[in-house]
Structure 1
Amino acid sequence: MSQLPIVSVLPELFDVIDTHASVILQAPPGAGKSTLLPLELVRQARLPGRIIMLEPRRLAARNIASFLARQLGEQVGDRIGLRVRGESRTSARTRLEIVTEGVLTRMLQQDPELAGVSLVIFDEFHERSLHADTALAFAIESQQGLREDLKLLIMSATLDGMALEALLPDAPVIRSEGRGFPIDYHYRPANRQQWLEPQVGAVVLEALATHSGSALVFLPGQGEIERLAQWLEGKLPDDVRLAPLYGRLDMVAQQAAIEPAPAGRRKLVLTTNVAETSLTIEGVSVVIDSGLERRASFDLKSGVTRLETRQIAKASATQRAGRAGRLGPGVCYRLWSSEGQARLAEQSPPDILTQELTGLLLDAAQWGARVESLPLLDMPPAAALASARRLLVALGAMKAEGEPQLTPAGRAMAAIGTHPRLARMLLRAKALETEGLTGIVADAAFLVALLEEDLRGSERLSVLFHRRLGALRQGAARWFERLGVRPGQAQGQWLGLLCALAWPDRVGKLRSGSRYQLSGGVSCDLVEGHPCQGQAALVAVEMGQNERGSRIFIAEPVELDELVRQLPELVSERQWFDWDEREERVRAERQQVLGELVLSQRPLTELSDEQKGRCLLQGIRRKGLHVLPWDESSEGLRARLRCAADWLPDEGWPAMDDDSLLARLEEWLLPAVSGMTRLEQLKRLNLVEVLRQSLPWPLPKRLDEALPSHFQAPTGSRVRIRYEPGQAPVIPVRIQEMFGQASTPCVADGRVPLVVELLSPAQRPLQITADLAAFWAGSYEQVKKEMKGRYPRHYWPDNPLEAMPTRVTKKKMGI
């Protein structure tokens, strides 16, 4: 431990921790930032209060806590404490508490001052998880508003691409060297169109045959680990023991993967990105990297969080390779090309830009802040926040109007400490139990314990529930305690209702085959061969997405009549006005709906003129604006308005493109079509008047002044100006009518010159110019020579600027 690189910067680091509120530490893997640094803080008792160290992963948190406690000759729970989901080992003697991300956020919510805490350490901050970003924002606000003496230490393997120094401008940055031995790189590009496991397996066998020492293989997920282990069965050297390592493994199996191999043997560890940071696996000198990872990404359109298998970033590739050079020179096999390495993205995008934000919005509202006002490194997308708010409103956690404020139910959900969907399920189950639904709380507690696991495959939820029932008891006990009720035994009779409470937007009604219409408004299919095939209604619990659309993997059948009876809060009535495409007339109904699912309907016979007009607008939306009676005048007015928006952009002109007009039909067209019920009645519309009346005052007058429909020629003729968005306006006019016009006429307050299309007496184009003065002084002479012989009866003066403009022949002019 005394040889770790972090040792050389500890004196400087401790000095700045003493004198600054926030400190940034950059230290590569192997420097000792996660182990020796916190250990020395405890040994030296430099701080009066406790130290909280945030670790992104439970596996790393447990491993670090156990390692540090052993260094002190103690058990976890003495000076080194641990608090992760479902497990807490601390005591009055605890000086350093290692926690995972959701735990720190709850600690801050329950006690914003973090009383008794002197220092909060954010380890592996470069991973940029959503919880870490949120907890840091809350900690900064706590420090600035409540606890000037609270200290923050942000530790990261790299600062590239992060704005930490901008977020914390007064924080000194301390940089430590890593402990890395030379690494020999071998590139073995894999064919991504073929199965991954045999290609990785071949490289594994090559590496084990060529090099001594244990090997670490990085794969995207559990499925690939299990398939590769099966492929390698019977092929490994006798001295190699295979050990999987991923998040869902039990603690005994995880520890077996981390511990050194027995003397005279080697170990082959098949892992995911859980082993990228914070874990040291003894004896590893060879890394085989598939170059892939599995990350969650939220799709706004479908509302589905999908797990994507994608190429890792350079930062991850460096972290993985570094595992081979911790104890001595190492070797890294990469299943991509050296050219591909140069093309890798520098960093993976932070979770706050790619994941579902319901938890963040709930946390921020509970904290009493808008997300946009929090000190975050990256602001989340506005559309993702809007989607999160819609879900919280649907769950009854947030008010629909005004500032994002929690309802009493929302505050209770936030206090439960799980995803808002599951929190809503638990709280409503407690209320429903008192209303006579015996056993629903027990079903809910066991179901939440199941849903917090990483569910896989395509299955009916109740089958998974009963299969795992015995193993869920410990997880369920935590939820019985949180709800303040006596533990009970689950029977699984209320699973469909409970799923509808958690996923009110995913109640599905069979449309045809395996396709379901969901209450959230999207359609999706059951995966092929799903046991719920043919069910009239279900709740989609686990969904995914591919190029063919959304897919349902885990679902539970439900009776819609029972939902209406037992959960009336999910059902509402609405008046529905629509357009009957087949009969081309308005249709109006009173509907009982669950979200966007229509459960029953009956006709509405008496409609107001406005309601009839709204129905007609739906028909126009579906068919397009071409069903309206456009003519040259109305099209010209639209073009003028679009040009006005381009040339006079600060004056509030409404958008006039097709998409905008369709989106705003109620604003500009509804008053004109109220009372109409059929498309043929639209022929009566005067669209020029409709559009002009929709403009706010004083835009109609301003339009006529700045972009007139006609140009008055020197002869007095009114010439229509041709406006076209993105192009200069044009006037076609006979050359004789422009005599005496020295300068080019303009529109838009002189900003935009007209293009003058000069015509012959026979209305044929002679010249097109945007500079009349240059034309008169230059090419007019050539035009005059050519045209004088062709049109001898018309006036062709030698000096057009001093000549009288005319619409008639020389004879009528008296020449």
Structure 2
Amino acid sequence: MSQLPIVSVLPALFAALGEHNSVILQAPPGAGKSTLLPLELVRQDLLPGRIIMLEPRRLAARNIASFLAAQLGENVGERIGLRVRGESRVSKQTRLEIVTEGVLTRMLQQDPELTGISLVIFDEFHERSLHADTALAFAIESQQGLREDLKLLVMSATLDGMALERLLPDAPVIRSEGRGFPIDYHYRPINRQQWLEPQAGAVVLEALTAHPGSALVFLPGQGEIERLAIWLAERLPEGVRLAPLYGRLDMGAQQAAIAPAPAGQRKLVLTTNVAETSLTIEGIHIVIDCGLERRASVDLKSGVTRLETRQIARASATQRAGRAGRLGPGVCYRLWSSEGQERLAEQSPPDILTQELTGLLLDAAQWGARVESLPLLDMPPAPALAAAQRLLETLGALKPGEQQLTPAGRAMAALGCHPRLARMLLAAKALAADGLSGIVADAVYLVALLEEDLRGSERLSVLFARRQGALRSQAERWFKRLEQRPASPQGQWLGLLCALAWPDRIGKLRSGSRYQLSGGLSCDLVEGHSCQGQAALVAVELGQNERGSRIFIAEPINLDELARQLPELVSTRDWFDWDEREERVRAERQQVIGELVLGQRPLTELSDEQKGRCLLQGIRRKGLHVLPWNEASEGLLARLRCAADWLPEAGWPPMDDVSLLAGLEQWLLPALGGMTRLEQLKKLDLNDILRQALPWPLPKRLDEALPSHFTAPTGSRVRIRYEPGQAPVIPVRIQEMFGQASTPRVAEGRVALVVELLSPARRPLQITADLAAFWVGSYGEVKKEMKGRYPRHYWPDNPLEAMPTSVTKKRMQQ
């Protein structure tokens, strides 16, 4: 380890830690930042208190702790400790604790001063997990407000695209070289429309045949690993041992994948992106990279978190390839083209921009801060925060409209699991006190099951029964946390428990396999699901594709029984709507769970306002055309829309169709007067209603600046045709404009009228926006043609000096 590149910067790094409270270390993979650096901090005993090192993944945390302890000739739990979910190995001797991200967040919540801790190390920060961003924000606030002596070391393979200097403005940046040997790249593009495993398998066999050493294959997930293992089982060359590696594997299988291959054999490790960083796999000289990863992202419209398989970023491709060059010259096969390599995004988006934020919001509320005020590298999207707020309010964790915990929310936050599961556990404990026997055991084992990465499409109770034996150790942890005596589950309360955790996903069958969920979403059961035909269920696991949301894991329930056992889920609402078939107002008093109607009865005594609001729903569905528009009201609406364009400083209310429909309550509702049917709308005077909706003095300014009529020189009143986006037009007989040298204007002189000059028979002769130019120009041609056709009318030689008239020559003489 003394040859690792990090050695050359350790003196500068330790000096920086002595002089500054925050330091940034940039070190590529293989530099030794996750191994030699923390080991030297322990060996040299440079700090008075303990050191906490944060790792993004449990697999990496366990293996780093085991490796460092072995370097000291000790077991984990002595000077090198480990704390991950469900496992804690620390003692009074411990100087360095390797922890996963949720653990550090809980440590900060329980003790914001981090008493007895001198240094917190954030390893692999470039992965930008949500927990890492949160924990760093809390640590910075702790340092600034409570612990000036607390030291922070942020370590990252790259600083590209991160503004760490904004969060840590006084932190020096130490840069280390990486350790890597030359890598020979081969591009083998595959067809993404066909099965991945046979194509990847062919490249694996090619690489093993062409090159010595063990190989590492990067795949998007466990399913692909298992399918490729089956495909390769009968095809691998002799002496090659197959070793899968992913997060859900038991510890023994993980260690077998990481350990060196037995003498005389090679190893083929099939892994996910868990092996990109912080994990040394012995003997690897070949990397085969499919270029895909599986990442969670939330759809804000549906609230469904979905696992997406997508192209990796260039930074990940570099990290993966680097695994082949750790020990000597290596080779990397990429299952995409060299042109595709150039098109890769530089970095994957951070979790805070793509994932569900209920955990972040709950953590921030427990910390006593608004999310928007935390020192975060990226501020989360407002719609995602709003969705998290709504869910936490539904679960009873936050006060309505505030980022403040309720007493129940404080209890949920203290449990340290997803808020849905925390609500389930606490409610089960309360229900057990009320006499529901066995519900706590069912809840505890259910939480242990749901904390796994559930896959497939199945009835939850089937998965529960199948996995019950393997869940015992995890369940015991939750029994202890709830201060309950361990017991065996019966599985009789699963539907009720799921309704507690997912009150927004209680579903009622609508037709076929489609369910209406209490949160407003409509979903289909996946084909062949064992819950097919159930009248009601709770959707536990949702997915999404181009056809919409789908239910994968669910548990049937009886809605009447659920309402009896959990009356707090049921509420009463007065529902007013528009009956499309009968075209009239319909009102009901409904018993509901969210958007699901359990029962209803008609409401007959409605106020005029309630009737009017229902009628507005009908107008919105039908459109504005159902209102009794006429020439006057349409003209007024056009004038108002033009006024907004030509006189914007006046602050005209928006009058486009979308705004009018959205604001029906403000401008139309007061005029409805208890109407209940569309046919009654005929009585409305829209011209008067629209004018009354204008704040004073806009009606007066409209009439002065954009009059409805133009008064011709003869005194005739001519209606002005207004149309948004076009110049206004007046159709007027040519004789009535004689002597008019300038073109009339509106909008306080800003807009010229287009004059449509008509014959005595009111047929168009000429259209002009410049009367003076017309009189001296094309009028002569018009006069020649019209004088013979209309001899009784006046056609002067000099129209600019002629008297305007609306009558014939004979009448003029009279």
Shared fold, TM over 0.5: yes
Q: Verify: 1:759 aligned to 2:754, yes or no.
A: no
Corresponding residue of 1:788: 783
Corresponding residue of 2:210: 210
Q: Deviations over 1:35-58 (max 9, x none)?
A: 222222222222222222211111
Quote the Cα distance in structure 2 between the aligned partners of 1:589 and 1:400: 26
Corresponding residue of 1:260: 260
Corresponding residue of 2:672: 673
Counterpart contact for 1:590–1:602, Cα < 8 Å:
yes
Q: Which residue identity lines up with residue 623 of structure 2 in the other structure?
A: G
Corresponding residue of 2:125: 125
- CA gap 1:4/1:689 in 2 versus in 1, 3 angstroms: farther
Counterpart contact for 1:795–1:809, Cα < 8 Å:
no
- CA gap 1:788/1:27 in 2 versus in 1, 3 angstroms: same
Corresponding residue of 1:168: 168
Counterpart contact for 1:731–1:754, Cα < 8 Å:
no
Counterpart contact for 2:743–2:772, Cα < 8 Å:
no
Instruction: Report the CA distance between 1:450 and its aligned residue.
Output: 0.5
Q: Which residue identity lines up with residue 306 of structure 1 in the other structure?
A: R
- For 1:170-249, list aligned pairs within 5 A: 170-249=170-249
Corresponding residue of 1:33: 33
Q: Verify: 1:422 aligned to 2:418, yes or no.
A: no
Quote the Cα distance in structure 1 between the aligned partners of 2:333 and 2:181: 16
Counterpart contact for 2:758–2:766, Cα < 8 Å:
no
Corresponding residue of 1:347: 347
Quote the Cα distance in structure 1 between the aligned partners of 2:664 and 2:600: 26
Q: Deviations over 1:61-116 (max 9, x none)?
A: 11111111112222222222211111111222222222111111111112222222
- CA gap 1:768/1:509 in 2 versus in 1, 3 angstroms: same
Number of aligned positions between the proteins: 808
Corresponding residue of 2:484: 485
Quote the Cα distance in structure 2 between the aligned partners of 1:767 and 1:159: 70
Q: Which residue identity lines up with residue 190 of structure 1 in the other structure?
A: I
Instruction: Report the CA distance between 1:662 and its aligned residue.
Output: 2.6
Quote the Cα distance in structure 1 between the aligned partners of 2:5 and 2:805: 93
Corresponding residue of 1:559: 558
Quote the Cα distance in structure 1 between the aligned partners of 2:271 and 2:742: 77
Q: Deviations over 1:346-368 (max 9, x none)?
A: 22111111111111111112222
- CA gap 1:144/1:530 in 2 versus in 1, 3 angstroms: same
Counterpart contact for 2:644–2:652, Cα < 8 Å:
yes
Quote the Cα distance in structure 2 between the aligned partners of 1:192 and 1:547: 17
Q: Which stretch of the first structure deviates more once superposed, 109-118 or 587-596?
A: 109-118
Corresponding residue of 2:591: 592
Instruction: Report the CA distance between 1:807 and its aligned residue.
Output: 5.4
Counterpart contact for 1:795–1:810, Cα < 8 Å:
no
Quote the Cα distance in structure 2 between the aligned partners of 1:605 and 1:74: 80
Q: Verify: 1:570 aligned to 2:569, yes or no.
A: yes
Quote the Cα distance in structure 2 between the aligned partners of 1:518 and 1:201: 42
Corresponding residue of 2:618: 619
- CA gap 1:468/1:681 in 2 versus in 1, 3 angstroms: same
Quote the Cα distance in structure 2 between the aligned partners of 1:406 and 1:291: 42
Corresponding residue of 1:468: 467
Q: Deviations over 1:286-339 (max 9, x none)?
A: 111111111111112222111111111111111111111112221111111112
- CA gap 1:647/1:315 in 2 versus in 1, 3 angstroms: farther
Corresponding residue of 1:81: 81
Counterpart contact for 1:766–1:783, Cα < 8 Å:
no
Q: Which residue identity lines up with residue 784 of structure 2 in the other structure?
A: G
Counterpart contact for 2:245–2:253, Cα < 8 Å:
yes
Q: Which stretch of the first structure deviates more once superposed, 345-354 or 215-224?
A: 345-354
Instruction: Report the CA distance between 1:228 and its aligned residue.
Output: 0.5
- CA gap 1:760/1:491 in 2 versus in 1, 3 angstroms: same
Quote the Cα distance in structure 1 between the aligned partners of 2:738 and 2:18: 86
- CA gap 1:518/1:711 in 2 versus in 1, 3 angstroms: same
Quote the Cα distance in structure 2 between the aligned partners of 1:217 and 1:648: 66
Instruction: Report the CA distance between 1:270 and its aligned residue.
Output: 0.6
- For 1:343-742, list aligned pairs within 5 A: 343-401=343-401, 403-647=402-646, 652-711=651-710, 718-732=717-731
Q: Deviations over 1:578-627 (max 9, x none)?
A: 12222221111111001100001111122111111122122222222221
Q: Which residue identity lines up with residue 157 of structure 1 in the other structure?
A: A
Q: Deviations over 1:630-655 (max 9, x none)?
A: 23333333334444445555655433
Quote the Cα distance in structure 1 between the aligned partners of 2:506 and 2:329: 56
Give the CA RMSD over aligned residues: 2.4
Quote the Cα distance in structure 2 between the aligned partners of 1:728 and 1:71: 84
Q: Which stretch of the first structure deviates more once superposed, 1-10 or 80-89?
A: 1-10
Paired residue secondary structure (1:598): strand
Paired residue secondary structure (1:505): helix
Counterpart contact for 1:730–1:754, Cα < 8 Å:
no
Corresponding residue of 1:137: 137
- CA gap 1:532/1:609 in 2 versus in 1, 3 angstroms: same
Counterpart contact for 1:755–1:768, Cα < 8 Å:
no
Counterpart contact for 1:611–1:674, Cα < 8 Å:
no
The TM-score normalised by the length of structure 1 is 0.94
Quote the Cα distance in structure 1 between the aligned partners of 2:143 and 2:804: 80
- % identity of equivalent residues: 83
- CA gap 1:138/1:755 in 2 versus in 1, 3 angstroms: farther
Instruction: Report the CA distance between 1:176 and its aligned residue.
Output: 2.0
- CA gap 1:744/1:318 in 2 versus in 1, 3 angstroms: farther
Instruction: Report the CA distance between 1:260 and its aligned residue.
Output: 1.2
Instruction: Report the CA distance between 1:754 and its aligned residue.
Output: 3.3
- CA gap 1:265/1:573 in 2 versus in 1, 3 angstroms: same
Q: Verify: 1:776 aligned to 2:776, yes or no.
A: no
Paired residue secondary structure (2:504): coil
Q: Deviations over 1:231-259 (max 9, x none)?
A: 11110011111111111111111111111
Counterpart contact for 2:641–2:724, Cα < 8 Å:
yes
Quote the Cα distance in structure 2 between the aligned partners of 1:182 and 1:348: 25
Q: Which residue identity lines up with residue 783 of structure 1 in the other structure?
A: S
Paired residue secondary structure (1:118): strand
Q: Which residue identity lines up with residue 756 of structure 1 in the other structure?
A: V
Paired residue secondary structure (1:438): coil
Q: Which residue identity lines up with residue 179 of structure 1 in the other structure?
A: R
Quote the Cα distance in structure 2 between the aligned partners of 1:803 and 1:631: 38
Counterpart contact for 1:744–1:753, Cα < 8 Å:
no
Paired residue secondary structure (2:154): strand
Corresponding residue of 1:338: 338
Quote the Cα distance in structure 1 between the aligned partners of 2:641 and 2:152: 54
Corresponding residue of 1:22: 22
Quote the Cα distance in structure 1 between the aligned partners of 2:463 and 2:17: 50
Instruction: Report the CA distance between 1:22 and its aligned residue.
Output: 2.4
Q: Deviations over 1:385-429 (max 9, x none)?
A: 11111111111111224x322211111111111111000000111
Instruction: Report the CA distance between 1:195 and its aligned residue.
Output: 0.7
Quote the Cα distance in structure 2 between the aligned partners of 1:507 and 1:121: 43
Q: Which residue identity lines up with residue 785 of structure 1 in the other structure?
A: G
Quote the Cα distance in structure 2 between the aligned partners of 1:331 and 1:788: 90
Quote the Cα distance in structure 1 between the aligned partners of 2:31 and 2:730: 75
- CA gap 1:813/1:444 in 2 versus in 1, 3 angstroms: same
Q: Which stretch of the first structure deviates more once superposed, 241-250 or 622-631?
A: 622-631
Corresponding residue of 1:290: 290
Paired residue secondary structure (1:474): helix
- CA gap 1:88/1:749 in 2 versus in 1, 3 angstroms: farther
Quote the Cα distance in structure 1 between the aligned partners of 2:126 and 2:804: 76
Instruction: Report the CA distance between 1:171 and its aligned residue.
Output: 2.5
